[in-house]
Amino acid sequence: MSPAEHDGPLAPTETAFTLLVTSVLDYGIFMLDPGGHVATWNAGAERIKGYSASDIIGKHFSVFYPPEDITARKPHWELEAAVQEGRLEDEGWRIRKDGSRFWANVVITPLFDTSGELRGFGKVTRDMTERRAAEQALTERRRLFAHLVRAQEAERRRIAWDVHDDSIQAMVAVGMRLQLLAERAGDSYAGELLELDASVREAVGRLRNLTFRLQPPGIDRHGLLESLSQHLDDVVVGSWGMESSLEHTLANEPAPETAITIFRIVQEALLNVRKHARARTVRVSVTAEDQGLLVRVVDDGTGHAAITHRRNEHFGLMEMRERAETAGGWWTVRSEPGTGTTVEFWVPDLPTAALDEQLPGEPAKSLDTHATPRAPS
């Protein structure tokens, strides 16, 4: 068959393939002889490891390993494992020519001829230092976020207890004294004392609502979905007289810090619906998406176009946005006159146990720094 009659592209020649391998810069690609000595060297290996071909060819590849790995004979058993398993992949510290360390992903493949004799090894090295640093920074950020959420909730709990055990109890006692004084006082003072008592009882009611907002019962024991359902039933339906619904696609409960963050944002969004929307119904949905949770709070209220444009000026909106972004997610609000308002946010969900399992010398095992979905424009 002539070249003109060939249906597909021609296969690259051996020379072209060799040129491709030797020119690649992002991967160190080279061969070892059966004893582990460097036999070939490409431009990527020179860029990553710092050795020129004349510096390294003929030397044992153990020069790339730190002293502790050489003492443990890691280079030797890696070659043995590659032969036994057909391939070996490893991540760990490697040493450049200048003595500096970098975090490498290494793949070693044994090469056999047609008779089954070992002719050497192919080795591919990637410099993963920057990605590892980014993953560790993300892991540390999420660990700090978990500590922050716990500290915030502990402070809220302390304030709620102080208000309940001190301020509310003191005001209840004042109310009781006012009632006694009203009974003993003459008619000219009884009316004023009863009005004062009514004011005290209203203040006590507001303080009880405040303690509920600070530390709603059940979220630390029953999880996110049950707490949201109870909050909608008790507050939105029971106290505010609105219709509500909760939809979700979760197979498992999120991590405690994630659950608390979502509950707090939804709680603030519902309070804004109560104060500003003049809505009759509100719908909350929670769905698992891109290693996190996507939450929507939708009402059928009057809506207000200025909400979308002034979201950085309203304290409640700022609090919701800051909570979501502190968690590593995003938050947005959409509102138009006559169409209601939609609060939407996404937060990642990584169990704290997974963070605690990251050892200081190991790469992050299950973090995807590209997993955050884009917020709606």
Fill in the DSSP letter of residue 234.
I
CA atoms 302, 307, 308, 309: torsion sign: positive
Name the phi and psi angles at 256, rounded to 5.
Answer: -55, -45
What integer best gives the mean pLDDT of the chain?
80
Instruction: Name the helix (H) or strand (E) containing 148.
Output: helix 129-162
Per-residue DSSP letters for 237-282?
Answer: IIIT--EEEEEE--SSPPPHHHHHHHHHHHHHHHHHIIIII--SEE
Residue ending a domain, choose from 71, 97, 127: 127
Looking at the predicted structure, is the pLDDT value of residue 6 above 60?
no
Domain count within the chain: 3
Portion of the chain with pLDDT greater than 70, in percent: 78
In angstroms, the CA 81 to CA 183 distance is 92
Same domain assignment for residues 150 and 195: yes
Looking at the predicted structure, is the pLDDT value of residue 77 above 70?
yes
Mean per-residue pLDDT for 223-238?
Answer: 88
Cα angle, residue 47 at apex, residues 43 and 51 outer, rounded to 5°: 85
What is the predicted pLDDT for the residue at 136? 80
Pick left, alpha or beta for residue 189 (phi over 0 → left; psi -120 to 50 → alpha; otherwise beta). Answer: alpha
343 against 326, higher pLDDT: 343
Q: By the 8 A CB rule, do 245 and 270 touch?
A: no
Same domain assignment for residues 136 and 186: yes
CATH code: domain of residue 315: 3.30.565.10
The amino acid sitting at 200 is V
CATH code: domain of residue 64: 3.30.450.20
Same domain assignment for residues 242 and 286: yes
Same domain assignment for residues 342 and 233: yes
In angstroms, the CA 150 to CA 146 distance is 6
What is the predicted pLDDT for the residue at 159? 74
Residue ending a domain, choose from 215, 249, 275: 215
What is the predicted pLDDT for the residue at 52? 94
What domain range is 160 assigned to?
Answer: 129-215
What is the predicted pLDDT for the residue at 344? 95
Q: By the 8 A CB rule, do 122 and 350 touch?
A: no
Same domain assignment for residues 157 and 58: no
Looking at the predicted structure, is the pLDDT value of residue 371 above 70?
no
318 against 23, higher pLDDT: 318
Same domain assignment for residues 205 and 304: no
Q: Is residue 155 packed enough to be buried (19+ CB in 10 Å), middle (13-18) or exposed (0-12)?
A: exposed
Mean per-residue pLDDT for 39-63?
Answer: 94
Residue ending a domain, choose from 200, 215, 230: 215
Mean per-residue pLDDT for 231-259?
Answer: 89
What is the predicted pLDDT for the residue at 362? 42
156 against 193, higher pLDDT: 193
Q: What is the pLDDT of residues 92-151, one digit of tens each?
A: 999 999 999 999 999 999 999 999 999 999 999 999 998 888 888 777 777 777 777 777
Instruction: Name the helix (H) or strand (E) containing 140.
Output: helix 129-162
Q: How many CB atoms lie within 10 A of CB 376?
A: 10
Same domain assignment for residues 256 and 361: yes
Portion of the chain with pLDDT greater than 90, in percent: 39
In angstroms, the CA 352 to CA 256 distance is 8
Same domain assignment for residues 54 and 34: yes
Nearest Cα residue to 314 out of 297, 335, 288: 335
Nearest Cα residue to 106 out of 92, 121, 125, 127: 125
Same domain assignment for residues 360 and 260: yes
What is the Cβ-side half-sphere exposure of residue 226, based on CA atoms within 13 angstroms? 9
Looking at the DSSP bridge assignments, the partners of residue 121 are 32, 110
In angstroms, the CA 72 to CA 265 distance is 52
Q: By the 8 A CB rule, do 343 and 247 touch?
A: no
Nearest Cα residue to 280 out of 237, 314, 313: 237
What is the predicted pLDDT for the residue at 291? 86
User: Out of 43-57, 216-230, 267-281, 302-316, which region has the weakest mean confidence (pLDDT)?
Assistant: 302-316
